[in-house]
Structure formats: C-alpha cells, structure tokens
Amino acid sequence: MFARRRFAVLKNLLEYVGIEPGRLHFSWISSAEAEKFQKTVAAVTEAVKALGPAQHMIKDIRKVA
Amino acid sequence: MEAIAQKIREAAKRLLSEGKVDVVIGYAKGSVPMREYPYFAYTPEEAENLTWTSFCCNNLALYTIRRPGRMAVVAQGCVSRNLVNLINENQFKREDLYVIGVNSPGMVDRRKVQALFPGKTITEVIEEPEHLLVKGQGFEQRIERKKFLRSNCLTCVQRNPVISDEMIGEKGPEGHGGNIDNVAAPWEKLIPAERWAELQETLKDCIRCYACRDACPLCYCHVCFVDEAQPQWCGKTQDEADVATFHILRAFHCAGRCTDCGACESACPQGIKMRRLTSKIEKDIRELYGYRPGMEIGATPPMSLFRPNDPQDFIK
Amino acid sequence: MSQKILAKDKVDAFLQGLCRDQDLFAPVMKDGKVGWGPVATAAEALWEFSNTEMSPKDFFFPQTECMMRFKNVQGDPQGMIMQAEAPLSRPRVLLNIRPCDAKAFQVLDLIFVQDEMTNDLYWRDKREKTALIGLACNDPCPTCFCTTVGSNPHGETGLDVLLVDLGDHFLAKALTEKGEALVKDLPAAAAGDEGQAAELKKAAEAKIKGGVAMDKVNAREVMELYDAPLWDRVMESCLNCGTCTFCCPTCHCFDIQDETQGEAGRRVRNWDYCMSWLFTMHGTGHNPRGTKKDRVRQRFMHKFKYIPVKRGGEIGCVGCGRCVQLCPVNIDVRKVVNDMNA
C-alpha cells in the first residue's frame, strides 16, 4: 500500500522525463494467482515489444566516448 | 533589510549570552557580492557578523542535521518548513531547537542580476528598500528587487516561518503573487521525445559535483545512492544515462519532502534548473495526496502513509 | 624569441591560418556564460572577458575519459583482447587562454609527467599536440590573486604565445619554438610596443588587491598546520560538494573503473574529488578521511603544503579565483590560506 504511492509518483516522473508510457507496468498479483501472472507477463511483453528497443537511459559502452 | 539584520544580531547576542543555545546558525556577508553564507555564531561577539540580505539563499536547516547541542536557527518560511520536516523525520527534537523566525522578502537570483551585465564583473550590490544598486567596473545600475527574485521565491506560498520561538520584524504576506501551477512541471505539455530532449538540454552542463544534493536539507542519508559502490547503482561517467539517473533519482528521493526552497538551484555552479524535475513531484504530491511538506509538526510524510482510496488506475 | 604584431583587422586571417591544420578553441559566450568552444573567426571568440567559468583542464584531462577497451568472448582462442584508445588525431590551439590557466597546466605537468614510470600518456599526448596562445589580463577581477601565488596577469609560464591587447593591435610574444612557428608570418613589433605592454602589466598587477601570504605556511611543519584549530571553523559550512575541485584548473584527482556490458568493456577514468566520502573509502570499510573536516583540510593542505613540499616549492594554486566565485557557501581560499598563515 505504501508502494502504491511511491510507484504512482515514480511512474509519473519517468513519463514526465520522456520514458514512453507503456514501458513501465504495475500489477498486483498474489502468489495464488498463477493465471493472472501468466497473462500479465504476456501482456507486458507484448506491450514492450510493440514499443521497440528502449532509446533512453541506455548506456551502450561500445559506443560512448 | 538592515533593520531586520540588526534585530537578528540582537536576538542572537541575547540567546548566546543567556546561555540558552550553544550556537546561532544564520547568514553572514560573503567575500563576493550576492553570496551570503551560512555562519555559526558561538559567542555574542561572533553574533555581530550575522546579516540578513536579499542573498540568503542557502537552506540553514541543513546544518541542524546530526548536530549535537542546543541550536538556534534563523528561519524564513522555507527553512522553517524544512526544520518541521526534520522534526517529523525524527532527526532532532523540537525542544533542542530555537527558531529565530523572519519573514522572507524573497531572495534574489544572482544569476538573473549577472545576466544584465554579461561578461562584466559586479563588485558591489547595495540593498535599498525596493531596489538593489549594482556596481561594477565602469557601471552602476539601480534595479527593481522584485524583478530579480529566484523563481521558487516568486511562487512561494509560505514566506512566514511555520514555527518560531521568536519573530524578528512583522509577519508579511505569505506569497509574492506567482502561481506555482502555472510554472510547475513545464514539460507536461510536451510529447515524450520532446520531454527527453528537454531533460538532456537541462542537464547538459551538469558536472556532477553534487552541490544540489549537498545543499539540500532533505539529503542526509549516511551513504547516498550515487556513492554506493557495491552494487554501483549509478555510473560515474558524464554519459547522459548516468547524469540523468542521478538527477531523476535525486528528485524522486525528495518526493513528498521537497519544500521548493531553491537551495539546489542556488548552489549549482552551472546554473542548472533542477526544479523542472522537482516541481513535477511537488505538484503530484499536492494533487494526488493533498500534501504540502513541512507545514505542520506531527504530519506523516505522504510516502510513509497510505489511504485505502489512493489513486491506482495505473495498476493492472 | 620574437615579438610580433597582430593587427586587429588581421585576426581573422591569422585564425584562418591556425585552423588549416589544427582545431581551434577559444572562450565564447554560451547561454550567457563564458565557456570554451570551437571558433573559426575573431568575432566568435571573446576578447574582453574575465575568465571562463570552468577551467580548460578538460582539454587535457576530460571529466570522463576512456583509457582502453576490451573484449572477452567466451571460447575465443585469442582470449581477452585489449585495445588502446586512439591518440588525439589533430593538433589543437587554445586561443585566449588566461596566463593563470596556462600556469596551472605546467603545475599539472609536474604531477602527470614526473619520470619514466609516472608518465600519463593520456595527458601527455594532448599536451604535446596542443599550443596555447594566451591573452594577458589587463583587467583582473576582484577575486583574482595570481600575483600572490607565483602567477601573473601577464604571466608567460606554460604559454607558447602571449597576446597583449595594446588597444589598436596585439603584441604577440612567441615564447616557445611551437609559438614561434605560429606567429612566424606576423610583422615584427614596433619600438614602443614592449614598453607599452610592460606598463599594462604593471597596471594589471596593481589592480590585484588582497591575496594570500605564504611565508609562515612555508615555514611551518606539515603536522602543525594539519593539527591547527582553524579547520574546525573552515569545515563548518562546507557542503563537501565538488564545485571547488571541478572548477579548479589544478585539481586533478580521478577514479578509474572498468565498465562491462556483455562481452565488451572499457576502462574509464572520471574526475573525482577529495571532498567526496567515497574517494578515500577503502574496501575494508575503513576511511582514512572519514570526517568532513579531514576532507576539507585535505584540499587546502594539498595545494598549499603537500604540493610545495613535494614539487620544489611550486604551489598547487594559480589564483584564478574560480572557487571563490562558485563555492555555494563562499569558502574563500584566500581567507583559509591567510588563516593558515596567521
């Protein structure tokens, strides 16, 4: 419940600086909810794939000076 | 301003000679114009060095952290709010602190003044009631004080101290007429790619000296996340990912605690506007949880609290 | 060495000549701040300014510098491959550098290039390929104190050419072979030019008020200064930030790390600073400079005692005054040193 507040602020902040909406996901899954876990992971994977490789906050040490 | 300064000196001398406190933490005149500095007066004689001008931009609440003994602090609105924060975060007890309260006239941004005289050296700034007389090699100009206030002072809503044991001078109006909602979170209206570009533009001159962090009375962790070596959360290079990681996480760590005192921007040697980040969080905290940090002793910080009906539309 | 004239209407042609085979940089106005940038014409460079806000040390000692790259492919018979970084490809000229900053690089040469074993090739490569054309200060700032730490507004140390603004033209003094080559096509100076420059030098020196006295600092033992009570007051307001060290032309501490990503990696060095708790933190958990006081003291002792003791009296400060202007809590190096000297 504390985390809900912290994630709300963090999500807003990351989207505010230009991290695309859809890269960051939150879900509430109990250890008994195997099906919900499976479906959520599939949905997150699909959403992130659709966005393509991340462009920001990436440090490619082969490229940087 | 000088009349207030005189009263601060008198109060400090009295407190020190009566032995009520061990130290009075206030401001003294800097060796360069527009740069007053945090000063520690231990004796009535040293209290003579205290001052109060348009350039008292450091947040003195910083110096109360892990400081033993009884201390008095000269506190305008924002400093008092940070003192309240620290009391609420159990950093010291209210009774160990004596607050010399003073209404803030709004502090002046030396970079805005300097921008009037590009490439020239200002040698002296003289305080007048509504004006500043700026002098330099071969020039002299009288400027209207309120046009050069720090941006955070323009939108301040708490110029009077929220706690004080003694008030110096009269209480004044709480604001300066600026509306924080008109300027907070300036990138909200942009698309994601533009936002990232703005972040990079804002941070491009950062030299990672951490003056923003070190001037901030919220940053009192024994080990800051950027100084963790095992694991190293944040790279030490000038790569944009490393610089952005520092600034984004520093801002996030201030969530629900930042009083918008502007000490970070005033300390920055490069003139970086990190309030473009912190103002977003301050706004969110206000809108989501109806909280303004440091306004009330006993309040629970919003990140250490929850309500059953907190917004959660982002959770799937 | 020769004394030449650079007429103000000939500066563009002079710079064009310099640009042909070299990259040319000078102080420029960027977003209202005086900083270093590439220039091609006289109009792009600044000719009347106090000094750049940050020192030009990053031309030789970048804040982040890749030292080498490596690759470790599993099963590759070649094993780990290490690859040196390419040296500077084109020579450079720094135009209008102030004499204090040029002096600072000579101080740093004593540290980066000491002998065969202590020979920083990253520093040396860039130093050897860079020429420094200085611009004498005719109008020092109130925070300048170069004359009291062995430098001078018209100082020549470390420069290849010194330009002195004589009003309608510059006197260009070649100071090294490298400098001689740069000004070889300029006309010779007139009879009175040197005298006029000497007058300006005297006037500039007279404008520097205050500064530091070092006689007692030099005479005192290290431990006497180290244990002096003054540090308790100096450290009080210090934030332990890196502003003073990062703007300083002579601060040169760094941290080296290996960064890896999959099979690739690089060794990188970054500026570090004595004010940082992490800088001296040992792997054991012990920190020999564990308190704020230890760290604040280190900066001043290093510049004004340790370097002079180890480098034949050379002071680790050139009096540029940047830290005086930029310190967020106005810790004034002049006051600290005078307290050490009291």
Per-residue pLDDT averaged across C202-217, rounded? 95
CA distance A36 to chain C (A): 33
Whether the model clears a pTM of 0.80, i.e. scores above it, the answer is yes
If you average pLDDT over every residue of chain B, what do you get?
A: 95
- Are C264 and A61 in contact (CB < 8 Å)? yes
* B46 domain residue, yes or no: yes
Instruction: Answer yes or no: are the C-beta atoms of B145 and B54 closer than 8 Å.
Output: yes
Domain boundaries, chain C: 3-341
CA distance C123 to C254: 13
β-pair type (C130-135, C92-97)? parallel
Residue B125, pLDDT above cutoff 80: yes
pLDDT, tens digit (0-9, with 9 covering 90-100), for C1-33: 899 999 999 999 999 999 999 999 999 998 888
Residues B218 and B105 both lie in one domain: yes
Using alpha carbons, select from C283, C194, C254 the residue that is nearest to residue C3.
C194
Residues B120 and B261 both lie in one domain: no
pLDDT, tens digit (0-9, with 9 covering 90-100), for B272-281: 999 999 999 9
pLDDT, tens digit (0-9, with 9 covering 90-100), for B175-223: 878 899 989 999 999 999 999 999 999 999 999 999 999 999 999 999 9
Residues B103 and B129 both lie in one domain: no
Interface partners of chain C (CB pairs < 8 Å, 3 or more) are A, B
C324 contact residues in B (CB cutoff 8 A): 31-32
Length in residues, chain B: 316
Residues B276 and B171 both lie in one domain: yes
Residues B89 and B118 both lie in one domain: no
- pLDDT grade for C187, boundaries at 50, 70 and 90: very high
Residues B143 and B191 both lie in one domain: no
B235 contact residues in A (CB cutoff 8 A): 59
- The residue whose two tokens read 């002792």 is C301
Structural domain span for residue B129: 111-148
Continuous segment of H or E residues that includes residue B136 = strand B131-136
Number of domains in chain B: 2
Chain A residue with minimal CA distance to C65? A65
Residues B267 and B285 both lie in one domain: yes
CA distance B274 to B271: 9
CA distance A59 to chain C (A): 9
Chain C residue with minimal CA distance to B268? C328
Residues B72 and B175 both lie in one domain: yes
pLDDT, tens digit (0-9, with 9 covering 90-100), for C224-271: 999 999 999 999 999 999 999 999 999 999 999 999 998 999 999 999
Using alpha carbons only, how large is chain C's radius of gyration in Å? 22
Cβ of residue C83 closer than 8 Å to a chain A Cβ: no
Residues B120 and B194 both lie in one domain: no
* B158 domain residue, yes or no: yes
Mention every residue, 6+ apart, whose C-beta is less than 8 A from residue B299: B88, B291
Please, what is the Cα angle at C209 between C207 and C212, to 5 degrees? 135
| Percentage, residues of chain B above pLDDT 70 | 100
Residues B94 and B136 both lie in one domain: no
- Are B241 and A12 in contact (CB < 8 Å)? no
Residues B23 and B59 both lie in one domain: yes
- The residue whose two tokens read 């009520």 is B20
Mention every residue, 6+ apart, whose C-beta is less than 8 A from residue B204: none
Identify which has the larger pLDDT, C307 or B173.
C307
* B310 domain residue, yes or no: no
Which stretches of chain C are assigned E, i.e. beta strand? 3-7, 23-30, 33-38, 64-71, 81-84, 92-97, 130-135, 161-165, 169-174, 254-261, 264-271
Continuous segment of H or E residues that includes residue A16 = helix A2-16
Residues B7 and B127 both lie in one domain: no
CA distance B314 to chain A (A): 7
Using alpha carbons, select from B196, B274, B290, B208 the residue that is nearest to residue B242.
B208
